[in-house]
Amino acid sequence: MLLTIDVGNTNISMGILDGEKIIGRYRLMTQTTRTSDEYGFFITTFLNTLELKALDITGIIISSVVPKLMYSLTSAVIKYLHQKPMIVSNDMQMDIKLDTEAPRSIGADRIVNTTYAWNTFHRSCIIVDFGTATTYDYIDQNGVFRYVVIQPGLGISLNALTSMTAKLPEIEIVKPKSVLGTNTIEGMQAGVVYGYIGSVEYIIKTMKKELNDPTCMVIATGGLGKIIANETDEINAYDADIAYKGMKILYDINKGKEYENL
C-alpha cells in the first residue's frame, strides 16, 4: 500500500492507496512547529483507524509546498514507518515536460496536478486547484506544462473582507439563494461566492481565448473547489483526490530509481 502526503499551506492531507483504490483519507492543519513525534502520532493514528500496521505500507511519497516542516515530517516517516519517503520535485522523472520561464519554481502540487491530468485525459487541460491560493495550470495536448494563473483563494478573499472591516462578521462560505442579500451575512456570502464564481469563469474563458484552445478540458480540485465547480459550466469535472492520484503516478514512474532528493 502507498501512503501519499500532500502538504499545503493550510492543511496536510494524507491518503492511502491499495493499488488504484483510495482506502483512507486523513487531514490535519499545517503547523511548522510540530515535532517528528507529533507527526508520527498522527500517521500511526491514521493507520490504526484503518487497522493497518507500518509493515502494510510499502511506499511513501510526499508533495510539499511548505519547506519548513519537511525535516520533522520526513524524520517522522523514517522513525515510525522505517522507510525513506520519495519527495516530489522538479528532478523527478515524469512524463510531462515543464516549459516555463522558471521551471524550477513550479511547485510540487502543480507537478502532481498536471501529471494526473495528462495521464488521465491525454489532452490539453486547465487544472484549477482551489487551495490557500487558487491556481490555474495549463498543460497542452503534447503533455507540456506551459502557463499558470494564480489568484487569492476563496478563504483569503473572505478573510481580507472580515479582517479589514470593523463591523463585518466572520461567516461560513456558502452560496446564498440569491445574489440579492437581505441581511449583512447574506450580502457578504453573495459578494464573496458569486464574485468568486465570476472571476473563475472570466479567467478560464480568457485563458481559452488567449491559448486558442476553446475545447480544452477544465478540471477542478481542492477543498473549496466543489462549491465553485457545481455553480459554473466552465468547469468540466471536479475531483478532490487529484493530489493522491497524481502522486501515485509519480511514485510508480520513479520507484526503484535513485535521486539525490528522493
List all residues 6 or more positions away from 250 whose beta carbon is below 8 Å from its beta carbon: 61, 86, 88, 92, 94, 111, 112, 115
Q: Is 43 flagged in the annotation as binding?
A: no
Q: Is 135 flagged in the annotation as binding?
A: no
Q: Is 13 flagged in the annotation as binding?
A: yes
Q: Is 64 flagged in the annotation as binding?
A: no
Q: Is 162 flagged in the annotation as binding?
A: no
- Distance (Å, rounded) from C-alpha 7 to C-alpha 139? 23
Q: Is 110 flagged in the annotation as binding?
A: yes
Q: Is 153 flagged in the annotation as binding?
A: no
List all residues 6 or more positions away from 243 whose beta carbon is below 8 Å from its beta carbon: 4, 6, 13, 15, 63, 109, 112, 113, 116, 221
Catalytic residues: 109
Q: What are 112's three cell numbers?
A: 502532481
Cα 249 to chain center, whole Å? 15
Q: Is 45 flagged in the annotation as binding?
A: no
Cα 17 to chain center, whole Å? 17
- Distance (Å, rounded) from C-alpha 37 to C-alpha 91? 29
Q: Is 132 flagged in the annotation as binding?
A: yes
Q: Is 78 flagged in the annotation as binding?
A: no
Q: Is 8 flagged in the annotation as binding?
A: yes
Q: Is 225 flagged in the annotation as binding?
A: no
From residue 178, alpha-carbon distances to 181, 194, 238 in Å are 7, 9, 24
Residues contributing to the annotated binding site: 6-13, 107-110, 129, 132, 184
Residues contributing to the annotated binding site for ATP: 6-13, 132
Residues contributing to the annotated binding site for substrate: 107-110, 184
Residues contributing to the annotated binding site for K(+): 129
